[in-house]
């Protein structure tokens, strides 16, 4: 099968690594990719957000499946354009991708479908917002209604900071004031063909920049999979997954289908396990980063077959994907001053030594080759992944590998998966 992956981050690198593990190997290319991806597959200098450019390329090059990594091409209508030309695509049309792009759309779908989520009030003015802040009380949760590149959400007990954030985002549209939900967070990915879903194994993401969940929210500083503590609460991972399929994923997918916007692609359920039960914090319309880097290395079922079945409406004929009993941990190496204003263009060394640590692979997040040197090009630079028979083993491998990597001013969290090791 000839596959084109769109995107340039560690998530896309992890998707490509999983595809290349298959026997027989599918033919894979990536647009635009990064230095790590370019070392493994051909990369194409193509704007992944341009529906016409992507579609023309796919038609001319006999691409049989396009896999969309990030949200931006979804919002730009790239999946719509490919479908119109009859090309199989893993990723929802623009209308269904609003499940991620518009928090008020997502809340409406959840309410119509009876999906458990926090109470929320949409505010168009500061007066409305302040009334909602006072109704829910501290800690305050304020969300920009729209794609905000991970910067739209603030959780704070400081009312003045809550008002500042609200005032800033009101200038860009509506805000959502939400009830604070307390508990462990879980990311569960489900493949959807618009009607049926198949689950992947759950993961946990570390969103804050610093150890012990201090510092600002980021795109994600590390992750691990599976979640051994689910067993105590649900009996087993499968029982947890069954509950999410019945109460969250299928009702959502059915509601979207009923409304004429079937969801084909990856339904990312961002969940929180409160004392009162599971609640959805958010949906995303694509694989999560860095969770993908710990979920896909454990996947035993060939990924291309799953993605193609989702893209072509035949997921209902397949059994659930299988996962290795091995565990996986990833730690993200971030640039100096990430997430505020990352300093980029610096040399990265030591990857060969890092890759000699058993069980370690490195998904490139923001790298480019400058002559013979590798340089950083963004805030999250590398996602160092380690698998092992235990979390203790996988963690120590990941940190041993990170110790080999040099990038001036860079930082990473030292407590990823510590709670399960």
* Residues forming the site for ligand GLY (CB under 6 A): 205, 220, 284, 288-289, 291
197-230 core/surface letters (b: 16 or more CB in 10 A; e: else): bbbbbbbbbbbbbeeeeeeebbbbbbbbbbbeeb
From the list ligand AMP, ligand GLY, none, pick the one residue 180 interacts with, judged by a Cβ distance below 5 to 8 Å according to partner type. Answer: ligand AMP
Q: CB under 5 to 8 A by kind: which of ligand GLY, ligand AMP, none does 289 bind? A: ligand GLY
Output the smallest distance, CB 245 to ligand AMP, in A.
Answer: 21
The nearest distance, CB 319 to ligand GLY, in angstroms, is 27
Which residue, 36 or 202, is less far from ligand AMP as judged by CB? 202
d(CA 256, CA 269): 15
- CA 251 to mean position of chain CA atoms: 21
Listed residue (384, 390, 385, 389) closest to 407, CA to CA = 384
Closer to ligand GLY by Cβ: residue 88 or 417 = 417
Q: Specify the residue, 207 or 286, whose C-beta has the smaller distance to ligand AMP.
A: 207
Q: Which tokens belong to 379? A: 């805030």
Strand arrangement of the beta sheet that strand 140-144 belongs to: 120-123, 175-178, 140-144, 153-156
Question: CB–CB of 362/384 below 8 Å?
Answer: yes
Task: Please state the closest distance from residue 127 (CB atom) to ligand GLY, in A.
Answer: 31
CB half-sphere exposure, 67, CA atoms < 13 A: 31
Q: Output the smallest distance, CB 150 to ligand GLY, in A.
A: 7
> 195 vs 141, 198, 252, 270, CA distance in Å?
33, 10, 10, 20
Least CB distance from residue 103 to ligand AMP, whole Å? 7
291 binds, among ligand GLY, ligand AMP, none (CB under 5 to 8 A by kind): ligand GLY
Q: Is the CB of residue 310 less than 8 Å from the CB of residue 265?
A: yes
Q: Please, what is the minimum distance in Å from the beta carbon of residue 220 to ligand GLY?
A: 4
Q: Which residues contact 350 (CB under 8 A, 6 or more apart)?
A: 404, 405, 406
Pick from ligand AMP, ligand GLY, none: which does 185 bind, CB < 5 to 8 A by kind?
ligand AMP
288 binds, among ligand GLY, ligand AMP, none (CB under 5 to 8 A by kind): ligand GLY
220 binds, options ligand AMP, ligand GLY, none, Cβ within 5 to 8 A by partner type:
ligand GLY
Any bridge partners for residue 54, and if so which? none
Q: Which residues are paired to 140 by β-bridges?
A: 156
Which residue number, 223 or 351, has a Cβ lying nearer to ligand GLY?
223
- For residues 38 and 147, which CB has a smaller minimum distance to ligand AMP in the complex? 147
Residues near ligand AMP, by CB under 6 A: 118, 141, 143, 153, 155, 178-181, 185, 207, 217, 270, 281-282
Nearest approach, Cβ of residue 87 and ligand GLY (Å): 25
Nearer to ligand GLY, 183 or 302 (CB): 183
282 binds, among ligand GLY, ligand AMP, none (CB under 5 to 8 A by kind): ligand AMP
Sign of CA dihedral 132, 277, 237, 412: positive
Q: Are strands 120-123 and 65-68 parallel, antiparallel or unpaired?
A: unpaired
Would you call 142 helix, strand, or coil by DSSP?
strand
Q: What are the Cα distances from residue 20, in Å, to 16, 26, 29, 48?
A: 6, 7, 11, 21
130's contact among ligand GLY, ligand AMP, none, with CB below 5 to 8 A by partner kind, is none
Please say which residue, 15 or 120, places its beta carbon nearer to ligand AMP. Answer: 120
In angstroms and rounded to an integer, the radius of gyration of the C-alpha atoms of the chain is: 21
- Residue 281 partner contact from ligand GLY, ligand AMP, none using kind-dependent CB cut-offs of 5 to 8 Å: ligand AMP
Tokens of 278: 């599971």
Q: How far is the CB of 205 from ligand AMP (least distance, A)?
A: 7
For residues 348 and 319, is the Cβ–Cβ distance under 8 A?
no
- Judged by beta carbon distances under 5 to 8 A according to partner kind, the member of ligand AMP, ligand GLY, none in contact with residue 39 is none
Min dist. Cβ of residue 186 to ligand GLY (A): 12
Q: 206 vs 323, which CB is nearer to ligand AMP?
A: 206
- Whole-angstrom distance, CA of residue 245 vs CA of residue 108: 19
Least Å distance, CB 203 to ligand GLY, is 9
Q: Which is nearer to ligand GLY, 18 or 374 (CB)?
A: 18
Cβ nearer to ligand AMP, comparing 293 with 367:
293
Dist. CA 151–CA 379, nearest whole Å: 14
């Amino acid at each position: 099968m000839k596959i084109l992956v769109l995107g340039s981050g560690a998530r896309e690198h992890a998707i490509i690594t999983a595809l290349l593990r298959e026997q027989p190997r599918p033919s894979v290319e990536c647009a635009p990719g990064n230095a790590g991806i370019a070392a493994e597959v051909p990369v194409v200098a193509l704007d992944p957000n341009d529906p016409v450019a992507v579609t023309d390329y796919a038609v001319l090059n006999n691409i049989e499946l396009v896999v969309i990594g990030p949200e931006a091409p979804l919002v730009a209508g790239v999946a719509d354009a490919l479908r119109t030309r009859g090309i199989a695509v893993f990723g929802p049309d623009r209308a269904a991708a609003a499940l991620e792009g518009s928090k008020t759309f997502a809340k409406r779908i959840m309410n119509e479908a009876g999906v458990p989520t926090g109470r929320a009030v949409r505010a168009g003015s500061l007066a409305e917002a302040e009334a909602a802040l006072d109704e829910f009380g501290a800690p305050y949760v304020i969300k920009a209604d729209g794609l905000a590149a991970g910067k739209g959400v603030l959780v704070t007990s400081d009312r003045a900071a809550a008002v500042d954030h609200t005032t800033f985002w009101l200038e860009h549209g509506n805000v959502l004031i939400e009830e604070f939900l307390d508990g462990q967070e879980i990311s569960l990915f489900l493949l959807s063909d618009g009607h049926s879903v198949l689950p992947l194994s759950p993961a946990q993401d570390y969103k804050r920049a610093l150890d012990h969940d201090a510092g600002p929210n980021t795109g994600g500083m590390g992750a691990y999979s599976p979640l051994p503590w689910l067993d105590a609460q649900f009996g087993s991972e499968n029982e947890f997954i069954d509950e999410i399929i019945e109460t969250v994923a299928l009702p959502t997918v059915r509601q979207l289908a009923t409304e004429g916007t079937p969801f084909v692609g990856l339904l990312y359920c961002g969940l929180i396990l409160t004392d009162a039960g599971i609640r959805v914090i958010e949906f995303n319309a694509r694989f999560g980063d860095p969770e993908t880097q710990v979920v896909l290395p454990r996947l035993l079922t060939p990924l291309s077959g799953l993605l193609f079945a989702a893209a072509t409406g035949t997921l209902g004929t397949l059994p659930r994907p299988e996962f290795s009993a091995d565990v996986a941990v990833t730690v993200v190496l971030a640039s100096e001053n990430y997430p505020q204003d990352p300093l980029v263009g610096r040399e990265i060394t030591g990857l060969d030594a890092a890759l000699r640590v058993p069980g370690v692979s490195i998904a490139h997040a923001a790298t480019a080759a400058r002559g013979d040197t590798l340089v950083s090009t963004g805030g999250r630079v590398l996602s160092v992944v380690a698998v092992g028979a235990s979390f203790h083993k996988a963690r120590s491998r990941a940190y041993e590998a990170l110790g080999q990597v040099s990038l001036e001013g860079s930082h990473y969290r030292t407590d990823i998966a510590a709670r399960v090791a």
